Structure 1
């Protein structure tokens, strides 16, 4: 792994390898889908301190993406069967694991890249509406091994920031400005600070292929 550190005027020290992987993942998404939705959100752990709790498991982020992929696949198939507008989508992503200031409790920052013709936005969270926001929150609860009944209570564990998404369209003249906006926001994931390696868990990952 390239351990070179570069400096950013906004975020400070960044891992160059992380920056390169982020840019590669965005590029692959655009190769697959000329119109791409780039969505940023955070995944938090509940206030539970128990060795059997899923949040302490290094595979929790893997379970999250597995569940989200399965839900997206089922959602597209369901729309097709109901003769609704549907498009296939790859599921590409970047994730980082960081710690709060005390360095005790981890959380995850996610960049999710999907076909904009499949999902143009996460939608407003509503347990009665099966949209992208619901699937993300549900996938995180499943990854944490929380009961389905906890979804309403624990939906806050998946958090969408202000203006969480950017649209990229290779056929639009504003592609470069949209890309630069996304790149700037995504560099936050590559920062050196807030990442710990002492527990042996991975701090960074991307989709493959």
Structure 2
């Protein structure tokens, strides 16, 4: 049973993970690979709304997507977007990336090799990964403007789509930990985390929502050093 406090703390993390950007026309939209086909749905919607002339889907497979997306995340995203009415000519695929940093770097390199000039990017991710994706892109591709986007849904809607509330909380806690420790490892820019969000994260981690936390070689939870 998930307590009222846990629900409140989860909502705090959910709200913080979303950047609150308003979509606007950009040079390209990049959909980051994952288990969630909602990324492709959001990309197709943005394309049809005239927000971008080109979609790039990036992602290989992972242990959580290998069975569901055997041809690779980016390929399945492409197929989904075409099913939703996006023309094949408006979709590019980057099939090698296995983490967020590679998503950004490999998509950037693919566009450069194709001679496509990019000044702004609609960066499409899972709803709770907006801030992590934004921080990574700002570190690795600082010369372009980043506009974050995801499927518009509430926390409750997202839990219903996954079907496992505890897993969703674990994922939100893990994503927050990465925002704290990855900047000092050089993977993303540092961002200010409000005290109430930090307190919510601490309570949830202490409450056992830890399956997605990074751990060191000794099995200890990785903590920021500053």
Q: TM-score, normalising length from structure 1? A: 0.24
* Bigger strand share: 1
**Richer in helix (by share):** 2
Q: Normalization by structure 2: what TM-score?
A: 0.23
